[in-house]
Amino acid sequence: MRIIPLFIPYVNTAYIALNIADEMAKVLPIVYKSTFGLLSEDNSFANRIEAFAMQFDNNKVSEKGQENFFNSESLLNLVSDVALQLYEQRWLFTKAPKYFKLKEYDISKKGGQLSELEEATKAKALEYQK
């Protein structure tokens, strides 16, 4: 299971960082080829990066699992992917600012003051309560 390292302290941070780097290594060559591929025909560097990243793809499905979607292997992969993505998102919004030494740890607050969106939401909520 791909989600087991998430429950081990200190390992989960490295595991999430490696997963994010792996996904970025898969996506950035595709973005590069789709934007700059129109200008030049030489995409060998992007292809090499993409091939290097794809060799670490650990989301392999057996031939039996590829026959149809509704089998235990595909459903377990789906559940583990969703759990992994939710945990990664939670980590990005809660712990990443501390690691990158950002001053604001709470995204919605700026200097202890409510943001404009929160002010507008609070005003609408009070309006509907009346």
pLDDT in tens, 6-35: 888 888 888 888 888 888 888 998 888 888
Total domains in the fold of the chain: 2
The reply to whether 50 and 75 lie within a common domain is yes
Q: What b/e readout covers 58-71, taking b as 16+ CB neighbours within 10 angstroms?
A: eeeeeeebeeeeee
Summarised one tens digit per residue, pLDDT across range 40-84 is 777 888 888 888 888 877 667 777 777 777 888 888 888 888 888
The reply to whether 42 and 77 lie within a common domain is yes
**Inter-residue contact 97 to 105 (CB < 8 Å):** yes
The reply to whether 39 and 15 lie within a common domain is yes
The reply to whether 110 and 52 lie within a common domain is no
pTM of the model: 0.60
Q: Which amino acid is it at 26?
A: K
Domain that includes residue 69, residue range? 4-99
